[in-house]
Amino acid sequence: MNILLQFKQKSHSEAYDHDLQLQVTKRLIMVVIWALIQVFGTIANLVTMKVMIMTAFDISKMATIFVLLAGLIVLRCKLQKVKKYLSKINIVLDVCLIWAQFILFPYVGKNGLDSFGKLGVFTLSWCVCLGCYSTYFAVANWWLRAIVPILQIIFFLVPTIQQEILWPFILVFAIECMVIYVAFIYVYELYQRKDFLEKRKVYENYEALMQIFDDIIQGVMIVDTNYNLIYSNRTIGSLFSYTQNTRSLESLFSDIQVKSMTPRLEAFMTEPVQMFCEPEDSVTISCYLSAYCKYMIGMPAYLERLYGRYLEGPFPSGFT
Please give the full DSSP string across 182-211, using - where no structure is assigned: HHHHHHHHHHHHHHHHHHHHHHHHHHHHHH
* Average pLDDT of the segment spanning 107-118: 81
Q: How confident is the model at residue 48 (pLDDT cuts 50, 70, 90)?
A: confident
Instruction: Tally the domains of the chain.
Output: 3
Measured N-to-C along each axis, helices 56-77 and 20-49 cross at an angle, to the nearest 10 degrees, of 150
DSSP-assigned beta bridge partners for residue 229: 223
Are residues 186 and 261 both part of a single domain? no
- Does residue 233 contact residue 213 with C-beta atoms inside 8 Å? yes
Grouping H, G, I as helix, E, B as strand and the rest as coil, residue 217 is coil
| 154 and 245 in a common domain | no
Of 128, 123, 133, the closest CA to residue 105 belongs to: 128
pLDDT category of residue 67 using cuts at 50, 70 and 90: confident
109 and 192 housed in the same domain: yes
Which residues span the domain enclosing 49? Answer: 10-206
Residue 291 belongs to some domain of the structure: yes
Assigned domain for 1 exists: no
Whether 3 is in a domain gets the answer: no
Residue 211 lies in a domain: no
What is the overall mean pLDDT for the chain? 76
Q: What is the pLDDT of residues 164-223, one digit of tens each?
A: 999 999 999 999 999 999 999 999 999 988 998 898 888 888 888 888 888 888 888 787
Task: Flag whether 212 is in a domain.
Answer: no
Residue 279's pLDDT is what?
46
Percent of the chain with pLDDT over 90: 13
* β-strand pairing of 229-232 with 221-223: antiparallel
In 3D, which of 25, 21, 2 has the Cα closest to residue 13?
Answer: 2
Residue 5 lies in a domain: no
Task: For residue 4, tell me if it sits in a domain.
Answer: no
Q: Say if pTM beats, i.e. exceeds, 0.95.
A: no
The amino acid occupying position 293 is C
